[in-house]
Amino acid sequence: MLGFGKKKDKNKAEDNKKSSQKESPEQSAEKTTGETPGGEDIPEQNPSPPKKKKRFSKRLILMLVLVLAAVGGACFVVYFFYFAPQGRDSKANYTKIQLEHVNLPEEMLRFSFDYFPDLYGSLIVYNRQMKLIDGEIARIDILAQKYPEQIKIAQKEKKVWEKAKAALEKAFLKIEKPVKDAYVLFRVNRELGLARIEEKSSELTELAATALAPALELTDRLKSTDEAPQGFIKGNIYKLKKKFL
């Protein structure tokens, strides 16, 4: 009996030794998860630094602002020149020009500049064409007096220019009347006046272009028949005038 008890104690001691050498489940979990058996976290030895959120650089923001400003400016220019209603304030750009052959008072010329800008340009061209025609008629008269035996030739050519002048003058007298009517209506009732301007603008511009076409074709002949004055300075001034005027 004593021997059997000693053998049992010996076996028990060996079992305790083996169990102490084995890892407990808690120890194994501690190694794999980094947590203690009590549930406390164990800090990692080399934690990776948190990623910083990327922010826009100052240069990128400046570029975006410039792009938006450029787009906004382009939109304004397009609206101002193509979609803005007629009659915008043009006081800073208007310059009084002497138009001897236009039968409109100064306030109506200014009104045309503000509300019929294309037609106003045609009025300037018309005035210049009338001056050119008058100048050519005067030149023919001088030749007729100088060469009386060939006066019929001069008279025949003079009639061509007088006919062109009369047709041009008649056409622009018809154009001037609607401008006068629109001006007075605008002064009496601005809303109705603006409606009349919108109604007549394209029509009057087309009428002016149609009336000017034959006169421009006729006076274009003067560029090839005029003789340049003699002398270096006078000759160059003449060429510059023909090129830009």
Residue pLDDT, tens place only, 95-144: 889 999 999 999 999 999 999 999 999 999 999 999 999 999 999 999 99
The residue to which tokens 């190694």 are assigned: 31
pTM tops 0.85, yes or no: no
- Rounded CA separation 132/223 (Å): 11
pLDDT class for 235, splitting at 50, 70, 90?
low
- Rounded CA separation 87/104 (Å): 19
Residue pLDDT, tens place only, 75-95: 544 444 444 444 444 444 888
From the CB of residue 5, how many other CB atoms can be counted at a distance below 10 Å?
Answer: 9
- Rounded CA separation 94/132 (Å): 25
Task: Give the model's pLDDT for residue 158.
Answer: 95
pLDDT at 157 over 80: yes
Task: Give the model's pLDDT for residue 1.
Answer: 45
Q: What mean pLDDT is predicted for residues 141-167?
A: 95
Torsional class of 39: left (φ above 0), alpha (ψ -120 to 50), beta (otherwise): left
- Full DSSP string of 96-142: ----TT----HHHHHHHHHH-HHHHHHHHHHHHHHHHHHHHHHHHHH
Task: Give the model's pLDDT for residue 223.
Answer: 78
